[in-house]
Amino acid sequence: MMTSGGNSSQSRDTRLWKELVQGNDRALGQLMHFHFKALLHYGFKFVKDEAFVKDCIQEVFIDLWNSRERVAEPTHVKAYLLVSVRRKIARNRRTMRLADDSLHDEYAFSIEFSPEWWMIRDETLARKAQVVSEMLAALPVRQREVIYLKYYQELSREEISAMLNITPQTVSNLLQMAYGQLRKRFSPTAISAFLVLLFS
């Protein structure tokens, strides 16, 4: 197709949102179809339990339907859904009393870099991935999350700022700081031109 990308999917989401608010359950189903994978991936960053995360996502959509007349239309539907999933996971974990104190913080965000999960056969590529993962692991949680949201979930600066409740400028600052941290910790040769671009 000729047009694809952020804007068209955003206007599609907004259209579906309007339809579901009017009581169209198929619109809800479509929204769920479009975003389930991204939400699952995001939820897994908090809890390494796929089934649990999937159930949380279902609950988010049921909640959305039940409160559709009260919820204000979000500017960024995807960002709204991501936040909802994070909250749901935090809440469900608390009620389940899973003994993990770190998760009482809604914003606890852990990206794990277990290399055995990567399906990389190519050795050079695996080494590169190792370097990148070490760099990211060395970053503060918040900076890591911004990088994840920007480059994995492909959210815009504005979406990230809406999600994390910070200004767009702070998003840019976090990215800048991430770059600064990396420069301090790693030798210049490890940081390729690519990482410079990454944080610009």
Partner 1 sequence: MNYRHYTATDFVTDPFFRSWILEQESSAAAFWENWVKENPDRQEELDEARALLYVLAEKELSIGAEELDRRVTDVLAHISGQAQRTEARMRPAFYRYFTVAASICVVAGIGWLGYLYMETKPGKLREAGIVQESSDGYIVRFNETKKPVTILLDDSSVVTLEPQSELTFPQKFAPERREVHLKGEAFFQISHNPERPFLVKTKELVTRVLGTSFTVRSFEKDRNASVSVKTGRVSVYSKRDEPVSGAAEKVIGVVLKPNQRALFDKRESRLVKVIVDVPLKVTEIPAASLVFDEAPVKNVFKTLEKAYGIELFFNEELLSDCQLTANLSGLPMYEQLDLICRIIHAKYEVVDGQVIIHGEGCKAD
Residues that bind partner 1 (CB under 8 A): 1-2, 4-5, 19, 23-26, 28-30, 32-33, 36-37, 40-41, 44-45, 50, 54, 57-58, 61-62, 65-66, 111-114, 117-120, 122, 124-125, 128-129, 131-133, 136, 147-148, 151-152, 154, 192, 194, 197-198
Do residues 22 and 62 touch, judged by C-beta distance below 8 A?
A: no
Do residues 64 and 77 touch, judged by C-beta distance below 8 A?
A: no
Q: Is 104 helix (H, G, I), strand (E, B) or coil?
A: helix
CB of 24 to partner 1, least distance (A): 6
Question: Which is closer to partner 1, CB of 43 or CB of 101?
Answer: 43
Question: Which is closer to partner 1, CB of 73 or CB of 154?
Answer: 154
Q: How far apart are CA 77 and CA 35, in angstroms?
A: 10
Question: Which is closer to partner 1, CB of 99 or CB of 197?
Answer: 197
Provide the H-helix boundaries in 50-105.
Answer: 50-66, 77-95
The number of residues making up the chain comes to: 200
* DSSP label at residue 117: G
Question: Which is closer to partner 1, CB of 32 or CB of 177?
Answer: 32
CB of 116 to partner 1, least distance (A): 9
